[in-house]
């Protein structure tokens, strides 16, 4: 009689032991992984929508207007004040500052 009760208590106790671990993983998912996935999707969308004339900032701090888009995921940026043209990778663009840059 007591053996059956002990087995039931041990099984329910082991399930309750895993509950905090499952809750921690759920909290990590909703607080860390889900926002990172959303941000990654927004960045990919922004990078795919880049077009000539957009004013962008790169991860290196360079701000310039897009002159042309290359076939190999590169961009040519016109940087002020001397209208210097730089070729950068599309992935280095961190933000679009405005829709149309001054030409």
- The model's pLDDT over 58-75, given as tens digits with 9 standing for 90+, comes to 999 999 999 999 888 899
Q: pLDDT class for 46, splitting at 50, 70, 90?
A: very high
Would you call 63 exposed, middle or buried from its count of C-beta atoms within 10 A (0-12, 13-18, 19+)?
A: middle
Q: Which of 29-33, 53-57, 85-89 has the lowest mean pLDDT?
A: 29-33
Q: How far apart are CA 56 and CA 94, in angstroms?
A: 8
How does pLDDT run across 23-35, given as a tens digit for each residue?
999 998 889 999 9
In three-state secondary structure terms, 18 is helix
């Amino acid at each position: 009689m007591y053996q059956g009760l002990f087995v039931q208590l041990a099984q329910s106790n082991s399930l309750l032991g895993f509950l905090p671990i499952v809750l921690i993983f759920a909290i990590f998912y909703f607080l860390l992984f889900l926002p990172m996935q959303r941000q990654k999707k927004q960045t990919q969308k922004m990078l795919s929508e880049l077009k000539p004339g957009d004013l962008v900032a790169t991860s290196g701090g360079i701000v310039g207007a897009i002159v042309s888009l290359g076939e190999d995921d590169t961009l040519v940026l016109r940087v002020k004040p001397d209208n210097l043209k730089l070729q950068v990778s599309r992935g280095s663009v961190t933000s679009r500052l405005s829709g149309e840059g001054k030409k």
